[in-house]
Amino acid sequence: GAGVSQSPRYKVAKRGQDVALRCDPISGHVSLFWYQQALGQGPEFLTYFQNEAQLDKSGLPSDRFFAERPEGSVSTLKIQRTQQEDSAVYLCASTPRGAPGTEAFFGQGTRLTVV
Amino acid sequence: AQKVTQAQTEISVVEKEDVTLDCVYETRDTTYYLFWYKQPPSGELVFLIRRNSFDEQNEISGRYSWNFQKSTSSFNFTITASQVVDSAVYFCALSEGRTGANNLFFGTGTRLTVIP
C-alpha cells in the first residue's frame, strides 16, 4: 500500500500475556518511529530507528518493551507480560529521510487493551 | 526540555464559523520545527503544516492559516468557514533541530466539533 500499515488494528490481551505489534512503513523510508497514545492524550515517543539501527529508545517505559527492525523495513514492537497500564494506541510513523524536521507519515495505530 | 501546551481541550463551533486553535511551546533549542497534525476518528495522524524556527512568515492554505510568533512562543492555527469534515482532534507538535533528534513532542490535543 501507499501508506504506513499497522497490524493488528485491535488487540485484546490478558494481563501477563506477550504481544507483538507490526508496522510496515512506506517503502524506502529511512526513519521509523513508535509512539504510545493514551486515551485523551497526545502521542508520546517510544523509540526511533534509522534503517536497522535503533538510535533512540529513551521513551520505552520499561524493559518489558522491545522493538526491532532487523532489515531496515518492517518493525515489530513487542510487549512482554502486559499490564493494564499498557492499554493504549500504539502509532508507527515513518519519514523518507533522517533529517530533522522531516514530515512524518503515520499509520492508523494498534489499539491494545489489556484485561 | 521541550513542552507543547494546547490549553483548549474541546471546542465546538457552528458550521461556517471561524475557529482558532492555540499552541504554546517551550524549547531551549534555537533551531526547531513546529507541526500541526489532524487526527480524525479513523486514528491516523494527518500532517497539515511544518514551520522551522527561522521562518516566522505566516501561511495560508485554502481555509487554513497559521500564525507563528517566536516572541510569544506560539503557533496558532485558524480554520476559516469551518465545515463538518473539520471535526477531529488537532495536535501541535515540536521537534528539535539537531541531527538524530527527530522525534515529535506533542501537545494534548484540541478536539474540534463542527456542528451543522
Comparing CB atoms, the residue among A42, A45, A105 nearest residue B107 is: A42
Pairing of strands B24-26, B10-14: unpaired
More confident residue, B1 or A14: A14
Sign of the four-CA dihedral A67, A71, A72, A76: negative
Query: Of the candidates A35, A43, A48, which has its C-beta nearest B102's C-beta?
Result: A48
DSSP B45-98: -EEEEEEETT----EEETTEEEEEEGGGTEEEEEESS--GGG-EEEEEEEEE-S
Q: Look at A42 and B95 and tell me if their CB atoms are within 8 Å.
A: no
Instruction: Please give the mean pLDDT across all residues of chain A.
Output: 95
Confidence grade of residue B99 (pLDDT, cut at 50, 70, 90) = low
Confidence check: pLDDT of A79 > 90: yes
What pLDDT, on the 0 to 100 scale, is given for residue A98? 77
Which tens digit of pLDDT belongs to each residue from A43-69? 999 999 999 999 999 999 999 999 999
User: Which phi and psi (to 5°) does residue A62 adopt?
Assistant: -160, 175
- Shortest distance between the Cα of A99 and any Cα of chain B, in A, equals 6
Residue B102 predicted with pLDDT over 70: yes
Mutation site for A-interface testing, chosen from B34, B50, B91, B102 by largest number of A Cβ within 10 Å? B102
List pLDDT tens digits, range B3-38: 999 999 999 999 999 999 999 999 998 899 999 999
A25 cis-preceded (ω within 30 degrees of 0): no
Strand B59-61 with B64-69, pairing: antiparallel
CA nearest to A7, candidates A64, A73, A76? A76
Is the per-residue pLDDT at B1 higher than 80? Answer: no
Closest CA to B61 of B41, B34, B80, B87: B80
| CA-CA-CA-CA torsion sign (B42, B48, B52, B58) | negative
Residue B91's pLDDT is 98
Which residues of A are less than 8 Å from B44 in CB distance?
3, 106-109
Instruction: List CB contacts of B75: < 8 A, sequence separation 6 or more.
Output: B23, B25, B34, B36, B51, B66, B67, B68, B69, B92
Average pLDDT (B61-66) is 91
Looking at residue B100, what is its pLDDT?
63
Q: How far apart are the first and last CA of chain B?
A: 41
pLDDT at A1 over 60: no
pLDDT higher than threshold 90 for residue B56: no
Least confident of A32-41, A95-104, B14-23, B71-80: A95-104
Confidence band of B101 (pLDDT split at 50, 70, 90): low
Q: What does the H/E/C string look like for chain A? A: CCCCEEECCEEEECCCCCEEEEEECCCCCCEEEEEEECCCCCCEEEEEEECCEEEECCCCCCCCEEEECCCCCCEEEEECCCCHHHCEEEEEEEECCCCCCCCCEECCCEEEEEC
Per-residue confidence (pLDDT) for residue B55, from 0 to 100: 84
| A98 and chain B in contact, CB less than 8 A | yes
CB nearest to A100's CB, from B93, B101, B108: B101
CB contact under 8 A, B100 and A95: no
Quote the minimal CA–CA distance from B42 to chain A in Å.
7
**CB-CB contact of B75 with B25 (8 Å):** yes
